[in-house]
Amino acid sequence: MVARHGLLGAAVLAAGALYLIGGFQLSAEAGYSGVGPNFLPLLVGVMLALCGVWLVWEAASGGFRNMEEPSGAESGDWAGFAWVSVGILANAALITTIGFILSCTLCFVLAARGFKWAEGVRGIGVRAVAMDALIGFAISAPVYWMFTQLLSIGLPGLTSTGWL
């Protein structure tokens, strides 16, 4: 178990190193906000490297001593994973056709179905799907309006009005 913890720490440290390498290859020229495009990758790289070092140190000093046994199933639920994956892929495929709000709502409905499936809830009624759709709409619509109306960032819409 301790060896796996060390491998996890080494993998996180390697990911941090890759972010740092990529960040140093980007332009450091400051944009309108005073930071350049390399700022965020460098910040993420430093944080990942620190976490990786911490995880390696934990593994070398005896592992995660107070860690409880994991709960849940022995393996992942592939059908639930498929529902969530289809939701993400449908969102990517349909966002320019049906707009941000409706494609994100569909993504939410399919992802919620996948999580319910993974919990063992196989039968689902029209009311539950409608509730998931309303929740998805209630999340995606304000996000869309905030980006398009307040921040003036163009997202694909269903109409040219900027409200749907």
Whole-angstrom distance, CA of residue 20 vs CA of residue 5: 23
The total of structural domains in the chain comes to 2
Residue 100 lies in a domain: yes
The range of the structural domain enclosing residue 28 comes to 2-60
Selected residue with higher pLDDT from 88 and 160: 88
What's the whole-model pTM score?
0.60
Residues 91-112 have pLDDT tens digits of 999 988 898 899 999 999 999 9
Average confidence (pLDDT) over 76-97: 92
- Give the per-residue pLDDT at 161: 56
Average confidence (pLDDT) over 69-75: 75
Whole-angstrom distance, CA of residue 81 vs CA of residue 32: 41
- One domain, residues 43 and 84: no
